[in-house]
Chains A and B, each alone.
Chain A
Amino acid sequence: AQSVAQPEDQVNVAEGNPLTVKCTYSVSGNPYLFWYVQYPNRGLQFLLKYITGDNLVKGSYGFEAEFNKSQTSFHLKKPSALVSDSALYFCAVRDTGFQKLVFGTGTRLLVSP
């Protein structure tokens, strides 16, 4: 079965510093990978996805993600964090056969001023 793992429950970073939120995946076949963000008391919002092509995927709000096949990782990155980036981030992978998504457990990002 397809799965993703987010090894960090929480990531703390100072405003202006680069941030990384980690995700590793386990799939059979080619991975379709996603990042979503959830702000407090809101639904999830799509950030970016990797299906094929360039290993560096650019998304919304200045975020990008690096697909690494040899390390089976899909880490979310941003060069300079903002306080407003503080939220819950979910990595997800498309399940086999149909466009269902399997989500990770989420990583809370806290950006301090």
Chain B
Amino acid sequence: NAGVTQTPKFRVLKTGQSMTLLCAQDMNHEYMYWYRQDPGMGLRLIHYSVGEGTTAKGEVPDGYNVSRLKKQNFLLGLESAAPSQTSVYFCASSGWDPLTADTQYFGPGTRLTVL
């Protein structure tokens, strides 16, 4: 049981390049989330999904797109990277069981630098 995994762990992009971050969970969770973490700002929600085939915007969605084609995977895309997107990106998931609902399980993060 690996929990939540993220690939890649590190990436350096040039301005204007594109990339996709992959998140996978093996806990059969319905809900998945993408956050970014910046110094002094805590975690901010980018996009989230309430189930396979669904996505919704979070607090800071501009410049990002997401897809949830399979229940276990949640992809975050940057179509044209900008230096302002330099950050650490975390994926998380949570289930709908009333006993554990709201408890989010986080991946190890992806450190992205945009030059």
Q: Which residues of A contact B (CB under 8 A)?
A: 9, 32, 34, 36, 41-46, 49, 51, 90, 94, 98-101, 103-106
Contacts and interface: CB of A to CB of B under 8 A. Distances in A.
| Interface SS of chain A | loop
A100 B48 contact: yes
Contact of B31 (A34, A41, A99): A99
17 contacts: A32-B102, A41-B108, A43-B4, A43-B92, A43-B106, A43-B107, A43-B108, A43-B109, A45-B106, A46-B104, A51-B102, A99-B31, A100-B45, A101-B45, A101-B104, A104-B42, A106-B42
Contacts of B92: 43-44
B43 interface: yes
Q: Which bracket fits the contact residues of B?
A: 20 to 34
B40 A100 contact: no
Contacts of B102: 32, 34, 49, 51, 94, 99, 101
B103 A42 contact: no
A44 B90 contact: yes
Contacts of A106: 42
Contacts of A44: 43, 90, 92, 104, 106
Contacts of A105: 40-42
B108 A100 contact: no
Contacts, number: 51
B50 A42 contact: no
Contacts of A100: 33, 45, 48, 58
B94 interface: yes
Contact of B94 (A51, A99, A103): A99
Given A99-B94, A100-B45, A100-B48, A46 B108 contact: no
B86 to A, nearest CB: 17
A35 B103 CA distance: 10
A9 B42 CA distance: 11
A64 B103 CA distance: 16
B64 interface: no
B50 to A, nearest CB: 7
Going nearest first, the 7 A-B pairs with the smallest beta carbon separation are: A43-B106, A105-B42, A103-B43, A44-B106, A103-B42, A99-B102, A43-B108
